[in-house]
Structures are given as structure tokens and as C-alpha cells.
Amino acid sequence: MKRPTPAVWAALTAVLVGAACITLSPYFHWVTSWPAGATLPVTSWIGTGLTAAFELLKPLARTISTLLSYPMMFANTVLVNSPYSLTIGILTALGWYLGGIRLTLLVVSGLGFVLFSGYWIASMNTLALVFVSVPFALLVGFAVGLLANEFKSINRVVETTLDVMQTVPTFAYLTPLLLLFGFGPVVGLIASIIYAAPPMARNVMLGLQRVEPEIKEAAIMNGATRVQQLFLIEVPSAVRQIMVGVNQTIMAALSMVIIAAVIGGFNDIGWEVLLTMRKAAFGQSLVAGLVIVIFAILADRMSGALAQSEVRYSWRIALAVVLVSVALATVERSLLPGPDSYSAFKGLAAAADSYLNAFTAANGLVLDAVKNGAMFFVLLPLKIGLGQAVLPFTWGFMWTKWMSAAVYAVFGVVAVVMALRGSAVLGLSLLIVSGVMIVGIANLPWPFMLVSLGALGWVAGGPKLAAFAVTMIMAILLMGLWEPALLSLYLCTAAVSVCVVLGGLIGLVSSVSPATWSVVRPVCDFFQTIPLFVFLIPVLMFFQIGEFSAFLAICAYAIVPMVRYTYHGLTSTPEELLEAAVASGASDWQVMREVRIPYSLPTILLGLNQTVLYAFSMLVIAALIGTTDLGQQIYLALGQGDVGLGVAAGAAMAILALVADRLVQAFAMKQRQALGL
Amino acid sequence: MLQQLPPPAISCKGVWQVYGANPEQGLKQALSDAGGSADEAARLLRQRGLVPAVQDVTFDVLEGEVFVIMGLSGSGKSTLIRTISRLVQGTAGSILISGEDILTASKQRLIELRRNKLGMVFQHFGLFPHMTVCENVGFPLKMQGADKTSRRKRALEVLELVGLSGREDAYPRELSGGQRQRVGIARALAVNPDLWFLDEPYSALDPLIRRQLQDEFLRIQAGLQKTSVFITHDITEALKLADRIAIMRDGKIVQIGTPDEIIVNPVDDYVREFSRDVPKGRYSHVSSMMSLPDRLPNMPDDPKIGAEMTVDDALASCMALYQPVPVWGADGKMAGIVHPSQLASALQSERPA
């Protein structure tokens, strides 16, 4: 018989440890719940440490805060007090100049909607924050990217920091910032700078790194000094990638400004959404949400046109548009209504509300059935296991120990059979899955988690990765955040599984049917431009506050990368390989199964990786509508100003995301190497 | 045959380029362990996980000469040219350019040298994508501090030289591969450098365009008489363009010689393998095969063979003869004699020796 591979050993170890945990758990309580005595008071340490540090930093922070408040107040005053016809005129002219008639129409109709919705002032407050935060974020990101490119010694540090910053949930920034800078819009501004700078830094690094070596050498051989090389040759050569960074930074800044609205105290559009959502005035909150979506789309398309196209349209027409708007602006005060007095969609919103009420009343049974069905038969078993979730009340019978034993026996036999037929890993994995289904993710014993994640890390990336995974998970245990972390893991696993199956399927269908892709693609684009926040509105409308709504919102947001990467992976198979397969007599389905899917596996795994990260970032936002996991802890900490809990829970969330990220990346890397890519 | 040699434009002595952790130290250690033997040192380096990309390379390039470095990919030729131009820092040895050691030159001095004396042409052209053709060619002049009008004037001059007049305001992306490389050549010539590095300049081009540009290179070179170091993996290109050829293998130079010497007297099987498919008669010359004995044999025929004729041409006029024939030098005096069968057998040097 063949010698077992490391994967087999890993799976076997996990099975054995899992079995041991299940047998021991009735006798030793500590197997399932980490003993409270072994928890380090990390949360309070962080709290005290940071509070003390903040006391020292406060004068500096307050100075920064004051300094930043000037440009912010300036931008705010200008945007809020300018006649709206002037603002719309200038943005329209810009739209024309960058993108011609299509973008012009988009800008006019979008801003027209904003004006008539009655959210003009609130939008301008939001926009003022974006206008101030974007230049700072670009500057910081550019400088960091440039330095990291220049000094290879800090390159790794910067990369790691950017990785971590990408995984730390957005709300987690806010608590320390609140303590440091005090309540007010400046916190939103700073949070948005911190959040929006990394994409710029990343793209600057990537762009400079990708400049052809010969171009760099040509600059050297022409006698350019380092500074000349950098600014005359390398940066201009990398301008495309850098502009992609500009686009991403603008989107991130907008997204964060809106998220920062949860701290309140500032009449902006994010706050309007939150307020109307809390009042359950969904029609109105949908209008406000649409205003956000409009800004996101406009920002994306305008900066996208700036980045991707070199075609510019006649500046004379742009000037004419501006002049007309100036003329309009001069008479605006006397002839046109003020920006506050529009409320074209009030009636519509109210109608939508009553229609929605009628709809939910009429279809309440169906909606409830969907929700309860998903909760009782899928989510709950996943969360607390079949052992606890199967009750006479819902399933019609009681789960017994014998049933567990029967399931284990069946899967054990399956595992043995599969092992004999050569796929031991798959068999053992199925056995593990059966165990998880019976015990439930929220009840998984910590020794099992440590061992199996370590084993997974070992198989994917060797001892270093295994050690990384184990120490990271240990940190969560020591912080005493194990239970909420498992709840996060459960919600994330549920959503990611759905995304993988559904998103993979959509990607697969799109890859063979261009017609499908032509529909799916704009939907994906649209979903990726919408700020996270807005996803909550529609799910709340139909399913109220609760875990199921959170689950749906996460799925809706996190499915996009899965679809995209699956599609791109499947469609980027080299033509030659396909021709070789067809020439060998493969049918369409055989080409798909034998060539396209294996070849695209690394790309699909990267999609999975993105989906996991997206799910984690939405998890925190979903805390707003009722979850019980780490996200909720972060949100609570924000409300109570508990910086220790906020940072610790944020770190725990980041750890989960990082471990998942590293594991999937390592598998993708392994797969790529196996294919010789 | 003694003659007064002009001073070398480039003089490389014992140049090493080692990659890996702490290469200087590693090389020193390996050399002392190997008792000074370069081959043994290279073996030791490899054993210790270092990569000796260029090993103990020594050669001179004469003023005005086209010196071709030829080898397969991975033989270290690209690394060598980058070490000479100090795009990478050499590990050991000395490289003198007009008597000045470039390996120890200061940063400032290097910039000066590159601005005034050196030009380089790249395999994938290395054109700046955000500049027009004219701006690309004018870039080295800009580095010299020339003003805009004089840059444009000179750029147009050089563009005319490479046959690209009229495309000066196009962007590189709008040009074909051959045109792009002409821009690359024009840029390297813009400052009228003394020394010209060409790193596989035609390897990325179609065969037809390649031949066209080779002819142009010969034309330009005949006019400007620049010292050129030319890298290629194509033996016919090397034979066509070179005054002298250095053949590299695994980081070492295995033979240096004129095209005739390489073809007629390959030092080993590796070099012989290179010239195997080459139409030798076209690249070797009568001068490399003639001799001048003290007593001239009986030579009834004189088909007017010149010493600088290719073997093909000479054979065409003496194929039917069975007696030695005289070879005439450019000065009109007899330079030597050659037997037609000698010429014919040179064409089949594949016979086992």
C-alpha cells in the first residue's frame, strides 16, 4: 500500500483529536469551554494601556483634530452653502470632460435624484468629508508605497501592515479614534483616511514593481539620478496602476465616511439611513440608501474614467456648462426652491412603506416559512449542532445519542471505504464534517480547533504556517473571546458555503453562456460599488432584525468575488490547452472537468479567499441588525467607549480573517505550483 | 604578425558575478579553498548554494570594434553586459572603460559616464511608454541638461539616421516592433556615446526585420565607428556583425576570436555545435586558410583570388582547379597560396577530426 501523505496524517490526527474531545467532553468541562481561570485579562490590559497611552497622545491628537477641522469646515461650508445649481453644474462639466455624454447623463440624473430626494444638505456634509479625506489618503498612501518600493528593508513590514489593516474590521478603528479625538466628524475623517490609504499604497507598490526592468535600466543608462528615475520614468510608467489605486481609495473613503456615521452627531447621509432604518421607515431609508449608491456609482465611474481612458472631451462644452450653472446659481435664491424644500419621494417612500407592509402582511407566512426553514434546518444545526437543534418542536423528533452513533458509524465506514479506494483525505474530511454537523460550530472543542487548524496549516504551507495558525487561535482563547469568535466563525462558514456553491455555479454558467455573463456582470459591478451599509436595508425590509437577515446581507455582499473569480478562472484557460483537449476528442463537459476547472482552481481559490475576507468585513456591519458574535462585541464597545474590548474583539476578528486568508492563499499557491504557473 | 594595437576601450580582468547570500565573502572563501582555480571555485560556490553567473571573465574590447558576446540563454551573457555597464554590481575583478575602473566609480561619476559616454539598447526596447518617440530619444539629452529645442533638433537628426523620420510624435505603443527598436537605437545614439551596449537588440523581432536592422547596424557602424558590445544568441547574427566574437557557456568564456577563427578552428565541441548549421563558406575568408611557404609550388592558374574573399566566392572561381592558386592581398601583392581542396574541405568541418 502507498505511504500515507501528510494530508492523510493531518486528517487522521484531526479525526482522532475530535473523537477524543467528544468522548471526554461529558467528563471534563474544560474540553468544550476554555476555563475562565486560564483567560488573561488582555481586554482590560489593552484598555488600561491604551487609555494611558491616549492620555499622553491626547494633546497631539487634539491638535491634529483642530488642524483637520479647518479644511473640513471649509469644504463643508463651501459645499453646503454653494447654490446647488453651481455644484451640479461643476460636477456635470467634470463628468462631460471625463466621460462624454454618457457620464454627463449619469451625473445629471444622479444628482437630480439626490436633490429631489431632499437629502442634498446631508449629502453635501458627507461629500465634504470625502473631499478632505481623499487627498490626505492619497498622499499618505503614495508616500508609503514609494518608501516601501525604495527601501526594500521596510517592504515586508509595510506589506504585513497593509494585510492586517485590510482585515481589521472597520468598526474596530472607531473606538480608539473616538477616545483619542473625541466625538465629532473629525473621527470619521481620520478613520476614512486610515481606511482609504492602504489601497493607494498597495497599488503604488504594485505599479512600481511592475515597471518593466528594461525601462528602469534604460533610465539608469541614460544617466538619470534616482530621483529623476523615480519621478520622470517609473511613476509615469506605473500611472495606470496608480490610478486604479486612486479609484479604490475614493471608494474606500466614501464607504468609511458612511460607516463612521454610526457614531452620530453629524447630519450626514449615512446617519439618515441609520435613523430611518431604526424607525423602520424602510421606504425612506431606501431613498437615502439610493442616494449613497448614486454617490458611490458617480465616484466610481468618474475616477474610473480618469484612470482607464485617455480620451477627454471638449473643455469648451464643459466651460459652457459651468457658465450656465453660474447663471442659474445667481438667480437660484430668488427663483428656485432651497435644497431643503425638495421632497419628491416622500409620497413614494410612504407608498413603498405601506405596500411593503401590505406585502409582508399578505406573504408573512411565506417569508416566515423561508426564514424559519433556513434557521431551524440549516443555520441552527450548523450553529449548535444536530445534537441540540433537532427537537420535537421543530424537527418532529428528538435527536438521541444513538443517532449520533449511527451517523458516525456510517461516515466511519464511508471513510474506510474511500481510504481503501485511494481518497483517504476526502473520506476523513467527510467524517470531520459529520462530526461538526452533530456538535455544531459554536460548540466545537478548542483542542480540536487548534489541532485541526494546525494540521491544515501544515499541509498547506508547512510548519511555519501551522505555528502561525495555532498561536493566533491561542491568542483568541487567552483573550477570552472564544465563544463570540466561534459564533463569528459559524455565521461566516454558513455564508461562505452558500457563496461558494451559488457563486461558483453562477460563475460556471456565466463562463459557458455569454448571455448570462452580460446580465451577471453589471449586477456584480453594482454590488461591488454599493457601500456595505446599504445591503442591510432590503434584507431588513423583508426579514426584520435577526441572524437570518445578517446572514443574507453577508451572502449578498460576499458572493461577488466568488462569481467573478470563478468566471475569470474558467475563461482564462489558454486557447492552446482547450484546442489540445478538443483535438483529443473531449466533449464540452469533459473539457470543463478535465481542463478548465483544474486549470482555474488557483484563481477560484483566490476568489474563495476574497469571499472569506468580504464575509468577515460584512460580519461587523451586520452587527447593526442583531448578531451575537465578535461583531456585536465591537459594536457594543463602540457604544460604551470600551477601548479594550473594542480593540481585543477587533483583533480577534482580524485573526480569524488572517488565518483563513493565509490558509486559503497557501493552498492556492500550492495549486499554482502544482500547475507550474 | 605584429602591429601597433590601439588601447582597449574596455578591459575586463577576472570579472565574477555571484548571486546569493553574501557573495563577496563566499567568492573569496571559494577561491582560497580552490587554490585559485576558477572552475573549482565555481563548483564550490554552486555546492554552497550560490550562483556564479559570470566566472573569471577576462577580455579586451578594442577601440572602434564590434565585440559580440554569444551564448545560449542562461550562459551569463546578459549578466555580463549588465556587470560591465554596472547595472548590477560585480562581485570581483576589474572593468576598465578607457582606463577608468567602473566597478569602483562613485555614483556621481557613473551618472556622468552614462550621460556622456555610454549608450545601451535593450532586447524589449525599454521605451518609456508615456513619452513620444522624440521625447524618448531626447531623454538622455534632457539628463545632460540640454534645452528643449536643441533636444528636438538632435532627436530628429538621430531619427533620420535610423530611418524613422516622420514618426517623431508617435507614442511607442503606436509603432511596430522594428520601429520601436529603431527608437531604442536612436536613443542610445542621441548623446553620441563612445561606447555602445546592445543587449540582444534584434532577438524579439521577425527574421526579415531582423536582417534589415542588422544591415542598418552595419551601415551606421561603418559611419560612426563606435566601440560596440553586442549580445546575441544567434550565431549567424554574430558572424555577420562581429569583428570578434566571445562565446560564453555556463558563465565562462570558452573562446574569443574572429568569425573565421570560430568557424574554422572551434576550440571544442560546444563551439563546433554552434557553427554546425552555419553556411561556413559565407562567413569564413580565404585569409584564414592560406599559407605562405618559402618555396612557391607550381601554380599554372591564377583565378584572381583575394585574401578578403569569402570561401564561397573563392571556390566559385577555382572549383575546377587541381593545383594551388595564389591569393592576392588588398595591396596587390601576393599574400599567400591556397589549395582549392583546402577551401572545399573547410566547408565540411563536421567530419570527425
φ, ψ of residue B137 to 5 degrees: the values are -65, -35
Q: Do B140 and A212 touch (CB under 8 A)?
A: no
State residue A447's pLDDT score.
86
Give kind and range of the element (H or E) at residue A387. helix A386-389
- The residues pairing with B19 across neighbouring beta strands, listed in sequence order, are B51
Whether the Cβ atoms of residue B54 and residue B14 lie closer than 8 Å to each other:
no
CB A214 within 8 A of CB B123: yes
Pick the CATH number of A47-72+129-268 from 1.10.3720.10, 2.60.120.10, 3.40.1710.10, 3.90.228.20: 1.10.3720.10
Q: Considering chain A, what is the average pLDDT of its residues?
A: 86
For chain B, give every residue range classified as CATH 3.90.1280.20.
281-346
State the best of B85, B128, B136 to mutate against chain A, taking most chain A CBs within 10 Å.
B128
- For residue A389, name the pLDDT band (cuts at 50, 70, 90): confident
Residues of A in contact with B137 (CB under 8 A): none
Using a pLDDT cut of 70, give the percent of chain B over it: 97
User: Looking at beta carbons, which pairs linking A271-275 to residues 24 or more positions away fall under 8 Å?
Assistant: A271/A122, A272/A119, A272/A122, A273/A533, A273/A534, A273/A537, A274/A624
- B218 interfacial to chain A (CB closer than 8 Å): no
| Ranges A515-519, B62-66, B306-310: which has the least confidence | B306-310
* CATH of A480-677 among 3.90.1210.10, 1.10.3720.10, 3.90.79.10, 3.40.50.300: 1.10.3720.10
ipTM of the complex: 0.83
Interface contact B13, partner A, CB < 8 A? no
Cβ pair B128:A214 closer than 8 A: no
- Please say whether the dihedral angle defined by the alpha carbons of residues A290, A295, A298 and A303, taken in this order, is positive or negative: negative
3-class DSSP state of A309: coil
Q: Quick one: which H or E segment has residue B16? A: strand B8-19
Q: Which of residues 184-213 of A touch B (CB under 8 A)?
A: 212
pLDDT digits (tens, 9 = 90+) for A604-654: 988 998 999 999 988 888 888 877 788 888 888 888 888 888 888 888 988
CA distance A16 to A18: 5
Query: Could you give the CA distance from residue A358 to residue A14 in angstroms, rounded to a whole number?
Result: 52
**Furthest CA-CA distance within chain A:** 91
Neighbour order of strands in the sheet with B325-328: B305-306, B325-328, B334-338
- Cα-flanking dihedrals φ and ψ of residue B232, to 5°? -155, 160
CB pairs under 8 A between A and B: 61
**Intrachain domains A47-72+129-268 and A480-677 with the same fold:** yes
Q: What cell numbers appear for A676 in the block?
A: 507550474
Q: What is the pLDDT of residue A200?
A: 95
**B130 has pLDDT over 50:** yes
Q: What is the mean pLDDT of residues B204-218?
A: 91
Q: Do B129 and A221 touch (CB under 8 A)?
A: no
B352 band by pLDDT with thresholds 50, 70 and 90: very low
Residue of B nearest to A214 (CA): B126
A residues 217-246 lying closer than 8 A (beta carbon) to B: 217-225, 228, 232-233, 236-237, 239
Mind listing the pLDDT tens digit for each residue in A281-306?
Answer: 888 888 888 898 999 899 988 988 88
| Chain B nearest-CA residue for A217 | B87
Q: What is the pLDDT of residue B14?
A: 92
> Measured between CA atoms, how close is B136 to chain A, in angstroms?
10
**Count of beta carbons in the 10 Å neighbourhood of residue B212:** 15
Q: What is the pLDDT at residue B320?
A: 80
Q: What is the mean pLDDT of residues A456-464?
A: 88
What average pLDDT score do residues A583-606 get? 87
pLDDT value for B231: 95
CA A539-A541-A544 angle, 5° bins? 75
Q: Does the structure show a pLDDT above 60 at A111?
A: yes
Which residue, among A192, A222, A42, A40, has the nearest Cα to A129 in the 3D structure?
Answer: A192
| Distance, CA of A608 to CA of A407 (rounded, Å) | 29
Nearest residue to B72 via CA among B225, B224, B274: B274
Q: Measured between beta carbons, which residues in chain A are less than 8 angstroms from residue B114? A: 220-223
What is the residue whose three cell numbers read 479609484?
Answer: A247
| Residue type (1 letter), A81 | N
Which residues from chain B sit within 8 angstroms of residue A215, using beta carbons?
126-129
Distance CA B29, CA B50 (A): 12
Q: What are phi and psi of B48, to 5 degrees?
A: -90, 15
pLDDT tens readout for residues A424-458? 778 788 888 888 888 888 888 888 888 888 888 88
What is the mean pLDDT of the segment spanning A211-240?
A: 93
Given a cut of 60, is residue B297 above it in pLDDT? yes
Contact B124 A233 (CB under 8 A): no
The answer, yes or no, to whether residue B273 has pLDDT greater than 80, is yes
pLDDT tens for residues B310-343? 888 888 888 888 888 888 888 888 888 888 888 8
**How far is the C-alpha of A621 from the C-alpha of A264, rounded, in Å?**
15
A595 Cβ neighbours under 8 A, 6+ residues apart: A573, A577, A578, A581, A586
Residue A273 has pLDDT above 90, yes or no: no
Chain B, residues 246-305, CB within 8 A of chain A, namely: none
Quote the distance between the C-alpha of residue A570 and its chain's center: 23
Q: Between A225 and A543, where is the model more confident?
A: A225
Non-local (6+) Cβ contacts of A28 within 8 A are none
Q: State the pLDDT confidence band at A553, using cuts at 50, 70 and 90.
A: very high
Nearest to A221 among B85, B124, B125 (CB): B85
Banded model confidence at residue B353, pLDDT cuts 50, 70, 90: very low
The pLDDT assigned to B42 comes to 92
- Rounded Cα gap, residues B29 and B25, in angstroms: 6
pLDDT at B154: 95
Residues of B in contact with A222 (CB under 8 A): 114-115, 139-140, 143, 187
Model confidence at A565: pLDDT above 50 = yes
Beta bridge partners of B60: B11
Q: Which CATH number applies to B281-346?
A: 3.90.1280.20
8 A C-beta contact, residue A617 and residue A630: no
pLDDT for residue A184: 77
**CA neighbor of B337 nearest in space, from B296, B278, B309:** B296
Residue in B with minimal Cα distance to A236: B130
- Choose, out of B124, B130, B199, the residue to mutate when testing the contact with A (most A CBs < 10 Å): B130
> Taking CB atoms and an 8 Å cutoff, what residues of chain A touch B124?
212, 214
Residue-wise pLDDT tens digits, B13-61? 999 999 998 999 999 999 999 888 889 999 999 999 999 999 999 999 9
In chain A, the percentage of residues whose pLDDT exceeds 70 is 99
Is A71 in contact with A134 (CB distance < 8 Å)? no
CA nearest to A216 within chain B = B126
What was the pLDDT predicted at A26? 76
CB contact (8 A) between residue B119 and residue A215: no
Q: Which three cell numbers stand for residue A99?
A: 466621460
Which residues in chain A are closer than 8 Å to B184, comparing Cβ atoms?
A: 218
Residue of chain B nearest A215, judged by CA positions: B126
pLDDT of B245 reads: 95
Report yes or no: B80 and B56 within 8 Å, Cβ to Cβ.
no
Residue ranges of chain B assigned to CATH 3.40.50.300: 63-92+105-117+193-278
Give CA–CA dist A320/B219, Å, rounded. Answer: 57
DSSP A223: T
B87 part of contact set with chain A, CB < 8 Å: yes
Query: Are the C-beta atoms of residues B155 and B190 closer than 8 Å to each other?
Result: yes
Mean pLDDT computed over every residue of chain B:
88
Nearest to A237 among B87, B130, B143 (CB): B130
Residue of A nearest to B190 (CA): A222
Q: Is residue B1's pLDDT more than 70?
A: no
Q: Is A429 exposed, middle or buried (0-12, 13-18, 19+ CB in 10 A)?
A: middle
Q: What is the pLDDT of residue A173?
A: 80
Domain spanning B63-92+105-117+193-278 has what CATH number?
3.40.50.300
Averaged pLDDT for residues A190-212: 92
Q: Are A269 and A234 in contact (CB under 8 A)?
A: no
> What are the extents of the domains in chain A?
47-72+129-268, 480-677
User: Do residue B143 and residue A220 have CB atoms under 8 angstroms apart?
Assistant: no
Nearest chain B alpha carbon to A235: B130
Give A348-381 pLDDT, tens digit per residue. Answer: 777 888 888 888 888 888 888 888 888 888 888 8
Q: What is the mean pLDDT of residues B211-238?
A: 92
Selecting from B87, B129, B140 the residue whose C-beta is nearest the C-beta of A217 gives: B87
For A629, half-sphere exposure in the C-beta direction (CA atoms, 13 angstrom radius) is 31
Is B347's pLDDT higher than 80?
no
Torsion region of A280: left, alpha or beta (phi above 0 gives left; psi -120 to 50 gives alpha): left
Q: Of A308-312, A412-416, A559-563, B162-166, which range is least confident?
A: A308-312
Put simply, whether B203 touches A (Cβ < 8 Å) is: no
| Band (B4; pLDDT cuts 50, 70, 90) | low
Mutate to test the interface with A, among B85, B116, B117, B120 (most CBs of A within 10 A): B120
| Largest separation between any pair of C-alpha atoms in chain B | 70
A47 within 8 A of A643, measured Cβ to Cβ: yes
Mean pLDDT to the nearest integer, A8-30: 79
Three-state secondary structure along B68-120? EEECCCCCCHHHHHHHHCCCCCCCEEEEEECCEECCCCCHHHHHHHHHHCEEE
pLDDT at A214: 92
For residue B85, give the chain A residue with the closest CA: A221
Does residue B350 have a pLDDT over 70? no
Q: How far apart are the first and last CA of chain B?
A: 28
A271 in Cβ contact with A264 (< 8 Å): yes
pLDDT single digits (tens) A132-169: 999 999 999 999 999 999 998 898 899 889 888 878 88
Query: Distance (Å, rounded) from C-alpha A526 to C-alpha A560?
Result: 10
